[in-house]
Amino acid sequence: MAIQETALAILNILAWIFLIPTIGGSAYAVLCAFATVRFRTLAAKKTANRFQSWPPLTVLKPVHGLEKNQGENLRSACLQDYPQYQVVFSVQDDADPAISLLEEIQREFGKERVTVAVEHCRPGTNGKINNMVGGLKHARHDLLVISDSDVFLKPDYLKTIVAPLADPGVGCTCTFYKAAGAETWFEKVELLTLNADFITNVLFAHVTGASRFCLGASAALYRSTLHRIGGFEGLSDYLVEDYEMGRRIWDLGKKVEIIPYFVDTIVDLKRPSEWWNHQVYWDQNTRAARPYAFFATALVRSVPFAILYAASRMGDPLGLGIMAGAILLRLISAAVILGLGLRDREGLRSLGLLVFRDISALITWLLAFTKRTTVWRGTSFTLTRDGRLVTREAGSR
């Protein structure tokens, strides 16, 4: 009898513990939905700065291997409504399978528009930054636009992203991005991770001013600013290089301007294991950039804790009712965010996977505290406490 009473007491304590993030997460979901509506209202009223004459610029597109919709994505950078610009496609390996596609695009648009850079630069462990170090050697202009290889750009993109740089107080601009092109179930879960969780949090932080950030998949800055923060070389050992770049620009006394504009990043996963590794990678990113804030996100994970709450109450009516209410509120708020905020019909069609996604996210959240390795482009790295990447061989010495 004493053992049974002790077990019931423990379950009762656990139920109260699980109830806290259930309530906190449900409240946060509602706040995020309101913040998204507010974002759209502010975006409609915002008037951007504009140059009297558009300065020439270089788009840096780091490329590694072949990706889904790659030809369409890369060509979109060459079809911009902008008077004078150069696109630099950079790779790190002479045998990269994407080179033939890059050369085909170069022939299509001409060498004045497209430069294919094959450089073997290894200033650090961050492959994307290493790639851009090589690409920067071929950049003809001082205004630089960074755009990931999996991003599709609309024709007005360049004018939109560089316009705020007409203000000398702006050191960097970046746009929002959302996942698109998901086909398999695990790609759809990946899409929900980005659109219904990560970007949702970013929108909330943007509207409330809760934190400063920089989104490196789509950014623009002057070469002089990049030089003042240590160049790409100074970012080359960081897992979350965009956060570090933004932090350094703010430290210069300049602003990072977040533009209310979305580009699409195409989801490209070949197997479920890639999805899982990427989920862990995302959480390691967030933990490396903002460790205390990442720990606090446990308080807003309503769905998994609502399920644990119901289980701790042995599935009684109250526990099941709270669980159902938390799940319903999460789905409704996510639908508002995806539909009104991101105009994401793909995400709305995949909404049935959100509960599974939220449960798996609690597991990857826990792994981010214990797993000290990460994988980028097939290479394993050890993650240090200050967010730097070290090759496994070096980290094991």
Mean pLDDT, to the nearest integer, of 115-121?
A: 93
In tens, the pLDDT along 53-63 reads 999 999 999 99
Q: Domain 50-271 is in which class? A: alpha beta
Mean pLDDT, to the nearest integer, of 217-240?
A: 92
* 4-8, 140-144, 365-369: least confidently modelled range: 4-8
In tens, the pLDDT along 306-320 reads 999 999 999 999 999
Helices (H), the chain: 2-45, 70-76, 99-109, 127-136, 157-162, 185-193, 199-208, 223-228, 241-251, 272-289, 291-296, 302-312, 317-336, 345-349, 354-370, 392-395
* 2-6, 144-148, 230-234, 267-271: least confidently modelled range: 2-6
Mean pLDDT, to the nearest integer, of 278-291?
A: 80
Tracing tokens 């430069």 back to the chain, one arrives at: 115
Phi and psi for 382 in degrees, rounded to 5? -100, 135
Q: Where are the CATH 3.90.550.10 domain residues in the chain?
A: 50-271
